[in-house]
Structure 1
Amino acid sequence: MKIDAFCHLLPAAYAERLFAIDDSPVARNIQKRVSGVPALVDMDERFRVMDEFGSDYRQIVNTAAPPLDDLGPAARTAELARIANDGMADLVSRHPDRFAGFCAAVALDDVDNAIAETERAFDELGAVGVQIYTHVGGGPMDQERFFPFYEAVARRGNKMIQVHPCRDSSWSDYKTEERSKFEIWWTLGWEYDLSAFMSRLVFSGVFERLPDIKILIHHGGAMIPHFAGRVGAGWDQLGTRTPADQSDDIAGYPLTQRPIDYFKKFYVDTAYFGAGDAMRTAIRFFGVDHTLFASDTPFDPEKGPGYIRDTIANLQEMDILDDDDREQIYHRNVTDLLRLDGAATRSNALEDEVLS
């Protein structure tokens, strides 16, 4: 059994509304990108892709980037969230053999509305979590105004926050330039975004204040596991590199553990696009118990199956894992984390039906 815990799609009504937006450069960009990835919208094509991996392969889905906050005024983004969540809930309800759940879309340009929509998605639609991005309007996610949102999710206990990066080419690579070149903003910038998001949440004390919060970081925790020495011994010396007149830059919530210990409280996925050595490093850093199988489908060159196939191959070949470890990563961790009791039941029922 494999539950792919971070997959993207666009429900039909949401895609129609998204494609009707004509006053947003961000919307035009996703309109162009989606047109080349049919499995985002066409469920027949998506199911054809999924069939390669057998009846025990299922997905937890969310909407594809960009963040709703970037698509216009608050009234529009709130409408888009409702349409997206209603659409994902409908797909999960009609295809439980394909989808194990969905993570709600929210627009954090209005925190109160985001909390209300999150709670509606949890209580009325059965969402297993909520997807957010690494910044809102270019601002950091450790601002105190976002704390009530984190608190609202944390108190549910069995719901997770998925975190996706979101910078674009307007984030230049150098101070002297106006735009990022060669898609560096995507290849490297997104991983910096995720790493900075994690760091700001750690030093803002989110795990001290909300010890039950469950945050899943996309792309295997990005840069953090690969710079463990700097995150560990380096940040143990926080303040030694900062001049006295810049002391406000290192003022954060009082922590009771080493910074590196808080980073290991994040959950991460296996969306490494076939980079097995990088995945191995992440699993060693965060641990098997904090690693969830995920592929980031359907954004591979094949528009669907490639990253799923490569991720499974990486896990099967990884000599630091035994069969029990693989079972944990493939489905047990996410099932336990989100209390997906129905997931195993439906899978077993399908298996019994096939056998009979």
Structure 2
Amino acid sequence: MSQPEIFIDIYNHVMPRPYLEKVQQLSKDAGMVKRMTNLRLLWDIEARVAMLDEKFPQVQQVLSLCVPSPEMLAGAEQSPELARIANDGMAQMCRQWPHKFPTFTASLPMNNIPAALEEMDRAIGELGARGVQVLTNVNGRALDHADYLPVFERIANHHRLPVWMHPLRPASKADYVDEEKSKYEIWQVLGWPFESSVAMSRMVFSGLFDKVPDLKLITHHCGGMLPYFGGRAETLWAQIGSRSADGAEADVLKNLKKKPIDYFKMFYGDTVLGGSTGALKCGLDFFGPEHVVFASDCPFDPEEGPMFIREGIRSVREAGLSAADMRKVCCGNAFSLLRLVDGASVAVGEPAP
């Protein structure tokens, strides 16, 4: 089977040095600061490019900011400036190394929605971003809150570009009520896919896709729990309200235009599954090859850079895809979602066509 000429790594992470300095100054999470500071390929972009050129000449990366996001670091007055610093830094990386970084997804100050809309327009219109990134919650607040609807409406209806949704669950969120914090990094390894699944569910049942039918939303880690628990989700949510004392939630299904499972399949899932071919097959079966995009989560792997790219490519090649579906997953779906010219890097700084 012929292989695609290019892999578009649609979900990986960077931290521009000026933004890292702000994280070091403002973050109260010492563990996070330690992790970000010590992870060289996160902020040493020259080293990142050298690694990619040497090991993965066929890979181009669409850059996104890693956690913490602007609203996690500062209040509504300061967070817009942090978002500008992050987006300016990523745009500069794309201008300097266009053969490796064709574009980026903009970070937004989600605790200041007027500023978030302004920064979205600036990052896309002036810097050449091809979408926006949000976390699965805004400082603990659900994304299906009415305050955030303008963000989804603007990106889908005006810019016609996708949303990247990154999971977030802090270590301070204990696994059990009688404990002060999560143990054994359960909060991240298992907690983040759970948070993605919760956010997806809230979007579905709040009717977000009926309100914004053109919304394209990319989930990290291939939709979290949903592909594996798709059958459970479909059959039990078909009975929603039957387990509630007052039965009020039974009206939810009446207000949706489709079955819940059909909305879940409207999301896109990336291939960030630690290189597990079996898990990827599950995701492909659930979303279909048209709604799966290649991604690596670089540089958050035990080798701090190359491992997740290498193992991600291997898992896609072992998934039994046809040549046509292989191309969709590795680059075709990304070209379509980001409205990039097939096989060519976008000129960062120009608005989307």
Which bracket does the TM-score occupy, shorter chain normalised? over 0.9
Shift of 1:248: 5.8
Alignment of 1:1-356 (within 5 A): 1-21=6-26, 24-26=27-29, 28-156=30-158, 158-244=160-246, 247=248, 251=252, 254-319=255-320, 321-341=321-341, 344-346=343-345
For 1:326, the aligned partner's letter is M
- After alignment, is 213-222 or 226-235 more displaced? 226-235
Q: Secondary structure at the match of 1:35?
A: helix
Q: Give me the TM-score of the superposition, normalised by structure 1.
A: 0.92
Report if the CA contact (8 A) 1:157-1:213 is conserved: no
Q: Secondary structure at the match of 1:62?
A: strand
Report if the CA contact (8 A) 1:271-1:296 is conserved: yes
Q: Secondary structure at the match of 2:214?
A: coil
Q: Please give the per-residue CA displacement for 1:261-309, whole angstroms capped at 9, x wherever unaligned.
A: 0000001100001121111101110000000000100000000000000
Q: Corresponding residue for 1:351?
A: none
Partners of 2:160 and 2:243 in 1: how far apart? 40
Q: Secondary structure at the match of 1:182?
A: coil
Q: Corresponding residue for 2:350?
A: none
Partners of 1:306 and 1:253 in 2: how far apart? 46
Change (3 A) 1:143 1:310: same
Larger relative CO (CA 8 A, sep 6+): 1 or 2? 2
Shift of 1:247: 2.4
Report if the CA contact (8 A) 1:3-1:100 is conserved: no
Q: Secondary structure at the match of 2:77?
A: helix
Partners of 1:249 and 1:239 in 2: how far apart? 4
Q: Please give the per-residue CA displacement for 1:191-222, whole angstroms capped at 9, x wherever unaligned.
A: 11000000000011111111111100000000
For 1:16, the aligned partner's letter is E
Change (3 A) 1:56 1:162: same
Q: Give me the TM-score of the superposition, normalised by structure 2.
A: 0.92
Change (3 A) 1:253 1:155: farther
Q: Secondary structure at the match of 1:191?
A: helix
Shift of 1:44: 2.0
Shift of 1:250: 6.9
Shift of 1:255: 0.4
Shift of 1:15: 1.9
Shift of 1:99: 0.5
For 1:200, the aligned partner's letter is R
Shift of 1:52: 3.9
Once the two structures are aligned, what percentage of the paired residues are identical? 38
Change (3 A) 1:140 1:335: same
Report if the CA contact (8 A) 2:241-2:250 is conserved: no
Q: Please give the per-residue CA displacement for 1:24-80, whole angstroms capped at 9, x wherever unaligned.
A: 313x33320012210001112101221244433100011111222111222221111
Q: Secondary structure at the match of 2:78?
A: helix
Report if the CA contact (8 A) 2:9-2:295 is conserved: yes
For 1:6, the aligned partner's letter is Y
Partners of 1:220 and 1:49 in 2: how far apart? 25
Partners of 1:153 and 1:252 in 2: how far apart? 27
Partners of 1:114 and 1:232 in 2: how far apart? 35
RMSD: 1.7
Partners of 1:81 and 1:294 in 2: how far apart? 23
Unaligned runs of 5+ in 1: 348-356
Report if the CA contact (8 A) 1:67-1:166 is conserved: no
Partners of 2:48 and 2:160 in 1: how far apart? 28
Task: Count residues in correspondence.
Answer: 341
Report if the CA contact (8 A) 1:115-1:149 is conserved: yes
Report if the CA contact (8 A) 1:205-1:253 is conserved: no
Change (3 A) 1:156 1:259: same
Q: Please give the per-residue CA displacement for 1:210-247, whole angstroms capped at 9, x wherever unaligned.
A: 11111000000000010011111111111111111x62
Change (3 A) 1:172 1:315: same
